[in-house]
Structure 1
């Protein structure tokens, strides 16, 4: 949802902006196969009832709908996401990280696919243009693990404890799935600060370079 709102904001800004996705695990210790549904997990984690967990989740589903997204939480399959992150980093090497990230998120939230399963991840990778055998071999090894860990270490250095988290120019930060207009305002502010404004429009001052200084002729 935060990703979609950022993308909507970028469409409203006439300025080149490069977006880089980073790896972050909310629960690195989660097993690949989880025998609880999302409501049971939330209830246990936050000490609430199943009914409260469902109500809170439904609010998120409604917010997602407003951004044009379909979240099917009743059938969502929880899993460890480390291998999914490895796949995104592998896709990054081939210039397909954006497409791979979008495909995995859609598979998880909308299609209720098991994104911890290697066969499922391989199928998703093929859909965005990656080679099936290369992906399967990567997943069967520990390839791209260091790249994922490096991103997670960077997150620790910035004291990032949750997602979504947006770091702009390594200087400004936004947290949470902010409204699209908040992203627009924040990005416009950063762009304005980065622009160099030439005040002496008539260029009648002394101009100096490596060859010396030139005094304008009157």
Structure 2
């Protein structure tokens, strides 16, 4: 069995630098707004060279969407790695969404969701990049679903189910933002949304399977 080598001191240093840059950028973005912050501002805040910022984050938008790779690949990975005998597509997607929500909460990001969304909404560049990421996510999920047995994996159903899943994501994200804006604590929001996640993905899968 192949074993992954433990991270070296150099690897740990690179990760620490990346994290410091990411945290510095997010502080500035939430305080000043995305469009008002430059890469040079981020470099000064993180006490690194401008080129070091670019080494870790090729674009300014990448500094805002720091976990883009995990976000984009999560639904398709959840479907491909699920336990086929005991876990439906809907359950895999729900578990994936809830894992991401829990990760945000543990990292303290859920509590900053309101400021994060306001910053995103105020920037046309960020809104455009968010749409691109959602589309990329949907395409990857459709490709994973096309590998499923009938009926879900045949005809237009993979694309339809991926579109349904994207719609569920947006509905849930909007509900989370609404609750946070209303002043609900992050823990309460997370608990309230959990049953909705399972129900909505199940409804989406049932509708897709029943489509002729």
Q: TM-score, normalised by structure 2?
A: 0.29
From the CA coordinates, give the structure whose radius of gyration is larger.
1
Q: Which has the higher helix share?
A: 2
Q: Which has the higher strand share?
A: 1
Q: TM-score, normalised by structure 1?
A: 0.28
